[in-house]
C-alpha cells in the first residue's frame, strides 16, 4: 500500500494505468491537490536525459487522475513529446507550511502517463 499524505510529510504514490490496478487518492490527498496549482513534471527525453518543468494541473474526479496541460500549443512542448516517446513520469506537488520550524508537505506520483486529446486540446493524464 502506498504511503499517504500526512501533515509535514512527503508521500509517494505509485500509479499504473491498467485495468488490473486500482488507485484511489484519499480524501486528504484530494483536498491537498485541489488547494495547489503548481507541480513539477519529470519526463525522459528521446536522448534519455531527464527533464523537469513546473506545470499547472487539475484533479479530475471522474478519472481519479491529475491532468497537466491543455493550453494552446501544448502538443508542441517538450514534455508532451517526451510522454509520447516514454510514458514513465514522476510528478511532485509540494509546499512549505512553515520556515520556522521547517515544515514541508507534498505528494510524489510515479507511473505511466497517457496523452489525452479532446478536439484541439491536449493534456497529459497521470
The CATH number of the domain where 48 resides is what?
2.30.110.10
Give tens-digit pLDDT for 62-94. 888 999 886 667 778 899 899 999 999 999 999
Question: Would 3 be classed as within a structural domain?
Answer: no
Does 42 reside within a domain? yes
The domain containing residue 111 runs over which residues?
A: 10-125
Q: What pLDDT does 35 receive? A: 95
- Residue 24, pLDDT score: 67
Contact indicator for 109, 13 with CB cutoff of 8 Å: yes
2 belongs to a structural domain: no
Number of structural domains, the chain? 1
pLDDT at 105: 92
What pLDDT sits at residue 119? 73
Tell me if 60 sits within 8 A of 66, measured CB to CB.
yes
Q: Supply the pTM of this predicted model.
A: 0.79
Concatenated DSSP letters of 38-102: EEEEEEE-TTS-EEEEEEEEEEETTTTEEEEE-STTGGGSHHHHHHHH--EEEEEEEEEEEETTE
Q: Flag whether pLDDT at 10 surpasses 70.
A: no
Q: What angle do CA 39, 43, 44 make, to 5 degrees?
A: 165
Whether 4 maps to a domain, the answer reads no
pLDDT of residue 15: 52
More confident call, 119 vs 30:
30
Amino acid at each position: 500500500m502506498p504511503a499517504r499524505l500526512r501533515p509535514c510529510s512527503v508521500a509517494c504514490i505509485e500509479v499504473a494505468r491498467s485495468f488490473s490496478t486500482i488507485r484511489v487518492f484519499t480524501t486528504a490527498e484530494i483536498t491537498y491537490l485541489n488547494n495547489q496549482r503548481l507541480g513539477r513534471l519529470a519526463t525522459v527525453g528521446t536522448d534519455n536525459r531527464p527533464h523537469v518543468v513546473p506545470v499547472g494541473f487539475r484533479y479530475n474526479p471522474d478519472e481519479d487522475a491529475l491532468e497537466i496541460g491543455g493550453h494552446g500549443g501544448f502538443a508542441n512542448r517538450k514534455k508532451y513529446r517526451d510522454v509520447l516517446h516514454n510514458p514513465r513520469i514522476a510528478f511532485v506537488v509540494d509546499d512549505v507550511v512553515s520556515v520556522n520550524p521547517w515544515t514541508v508537505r507534498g505528494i510524489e506520483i510515479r507511473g505511466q502517463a497517457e496523452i489525452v486529446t479532446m478536439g484541439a486540446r491536449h493534456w497529459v493524464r497521470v
